[in-house]
A and B are shown apart, each in its own frame.
Chain A
């Protein structure tokens, strides 16, 4: 291992410079990154599948461009080791959603966000573990076993995009993509100490990403620097004709990173800071970050989100309802697990869906079915959509006063496997992230060092107005000048692979 540098620990700019200077080739990046994953993944279990052939093919293209002196034409992620959450279709690879239901499913097409990452020059290394169908906050619901937190293998990496966060925190990839329905990018970003961005709903195409909550899901990058996150955003953002809800975005997300926060108005939400369950170490980190922002020239403004407290219940109505519908298609007919030996379709359906779906998936599907049923719809689903209006209005009012909002990501740092077993307790992991999905605007987690009590990574959340994702990136870049880029988890630093 010592011979080759750990490319996954490098930033996109360093990789680009190295390629341009012919210090290394894209082929070396691919081969060395895959070898490192082979070792590190044994304990970490971040990757469900590696894609050697695709990686080498893509590396050959990048090397050809370098040889032809056309590196500039290669896109913002040229030669960058990338990997994808396993709910993203990539033609010819398994896309399992960490479910037994899709264990043998091979994608016949590619998700737009994946295609754009590869078109931007990224070298696809593989597919990443997650909570089953993204239902969870720890990757413990993965049918193929959980991913470990690279900072402490006895702890969860968060979820549902736990594999995506762990891979970046361990330096196995420079950029990974995750998806976030209620906090599934930001919370694992916080638990593993990476930059983790959930863009505004509609900024990144959802085409080819297996749906959980269609009105809530959004794809975004995990990186160790704000600049890499902005580069990844440049690659994946923008209108896709295959997704009706995607929108035109012509922002260069790197453009204002160096501007600093002088003159920016940044909101803090007192009710969040007093929330029950927020641990003192996380609270202290958020307050510290606020002080840094003030010191850097930002104006701190208290804002009120009076209806945010209802976001949790609205989310646990809307998410399951949409999930129930989105998961109806897994029926053992066209693809997916088919329980053998049934003489009638009804028993094949019931046995396949019982065996193919894990307990949390069944819970969400059945909850959604109940909430949409006649008579119940008007009691929960419709009011939840009205609450969505109120929360959206809250944010709109807040953004009349501020350019972005600072908040906690998760109330606590990473917990131990099995520590949180009650479903409703687990749902509290997302108490500070969910209202952003309900309203649809952008939010991100920025690592701000280790908690004073647990000595585990803590992230703070920066929240942008809709389609102003560059605001939170700008504030994050300013804070990054204080905290530095996200560190590699110690066991994986300096080229180590957790051996």
Chain B
């Protein structure tokens, strides 16, 4: 099996996707991802010279838009109904930078 990603890479990906993993989980994930990425190799072996990509399946659709017309919005209560934490009509989150953090 080819080593596509190292444990270091997997830690970076975990940080990017904001999924906190233990060391043990990082090790297992590294193995899993390498196995899956290995199975994707047919994609890299195709001769795709001059082939246009299809980003949107079922061609023909384009310029799908709506008119600039107002639709009902949620009340504040409904908007916040699922909020884990709220205050003053807003969603409440802990410190963005953390203690002594900088951004």
Q: Which residues of A contact B (CB under 8 A)?
A: 104-106, 108, 200-202, 215-216, 241, 244-245, 247, 309-310, 312-314, 316-317, 324, 328, 331-338, 342-351, 353-354, 357, 362-363, 365-367, 369-370, 373, 379-380, 382-390, 392, 422-424, 427, 438-440, 466-467
Asked whether A313 and B39 contact (CB < 8 A) given A108-B78, A344-B99, the answer is yes
- A392 in contact with B29 (CB, 8 Å): no
Give the residue among B5, B16, B82, B83 with the most A Cβ atoms within 10 A: B82
Candidates A357, A362, A383; contact of B29 at CB < 8 Å: A362
CB proximity of B90 to chain A, nearest CB, Å: 11
Candidates B5, B14, B36, B101; contact of A424 at CB < 8 Å: B36
Candidates B37, B53, B64, B74; contact of A244 at CB < 8 Å: B64
Bound-state Cα–Cα, A344 to B93, Å: 8
Candidates A108, A310, A386; contact of B42 at CB < 8 Å: A310
- B96 in contact with A344 (CB, 8 Å): yes
CB proximity of B73 to chain A, nearest CB, Å: 11
- A363 in contact with B36 (CB, 8 Å): yes
CB proximity of A439 to chain B, nearest CB, Å: 7
Candidates B48, B61, B81; contact of A202 at CB < 8 Å: B61
**With a CB–CB cut-off of 8 A, which chain B residues contact A367?**
33, 36-37
**With a CB–CB cut-off of 8 A, which chain B residues contact A312?**
39, 42
Asked whether A365 and B17 contact (CB < 8 A) given A344-B96, A344-B97, the answer is yes
- A345 in contact with B36 (CB, 8 Å): no
Bound-state Cα–Cα, A348 to B36, Å: 29
Bound-state Cα–Cα, A383 to B79, Å: 40
- A345 in contact with B64 (CB, 8 Å): no
Bound-state Cα–Cα, A362 to B30, Å: 12
**With a CB–CB cut-off of 8 A, which chain A residues contact B83?**
333-335
- A313 in contact with B42 (CB, 8 Å): yes
- B17 in contact with A369 (CB, 8 Å): yes
- B33 in contact with A344 (CB, 8 Å): no
Bound-state Cα–Cα, A348 to B37, Å: 30
Asked whether A333 and B91 contact (CB < 8 A) given A202-B58, A366-B14, A387-B43, the answer is yes
**Could you tell me the dominant secondary structure of chain A's interface residues?**
helix
Asked whether A314 and B39 contact (CB < 8 A) given A345-B96, A365-B17, A387-B48, the answer is no
Q: Which residues of B contact A (CB under 8 A)?
A: 5, 9-10, 13-14, 16-21, 29, 32-33, 35-37, 39-44, 46, 48, 51-58, 61, 64, 66, 74, 78-79, 81-85, 91, 93-99, 101
- B33 in contact with A363 (CB, 8 Å): yes
- B58 in contact with A380 (CB, 8 Å): no
Bound-state Cα–Cα, A343 to B100, Å: 12
**Could you tell me the dominant secondary structure of chain B's interface residues?**
loop
- A423 in contact with B36 (CB, 8 Å): yes
Bound-state Cα–Cα, A108 to B52, Å: 40
Bound-state Cα–Cα, A447 to B78, Å: 44
A-B contact pairs, 6 of them (CB 8 A): A245-B61, A345-B94, A363-B32, A385-B55, A386-B54, A388-B57
**With a CB–CB cut-off of 8 A, which chain B residues contact A427?**
39
- A336 in contact with B84 (CB, 8 Å): yes
CB proximity of A133 to chain B, nearest CB, Å: 14
**With a CB–CB cut-off of 8 A, which chain A residues contact B85?**
338
**With a CB–CB cut-off of 8 A, which chain B residues contact A362?**
19, 21, 29
- A389 in contact with B54 (CB, 8 Å): yes
Asked whether A353 and B18 contact (CB < 8 A) given A366-B33, A386-B48, A389-B53, the answer is yes
- B98 in contact with A350 (CB, 8 Å): no
- B43 in contact with A384 (CB, 8 Å): yes
Bound-state Cα–Cα, A200 to B61, Å: 14
Instruction: Known pairs A367-B37, A369-B13, A424-B35; list 10 more (Cβ under 8 Å).
Output: A108-B74, A108-B79, A216-B57, A244-B61, A313-B42, A324-B17, A333-B83, A385-B55, A390-B46, A390-B51
CB proximity of B22 to chain A, nearest CB, Å: 9
CB proximity of A293 to chain B, nearest CB, Å: 27
Q: Identify the closest chain A residue to B18 (Cβ).
A: A349
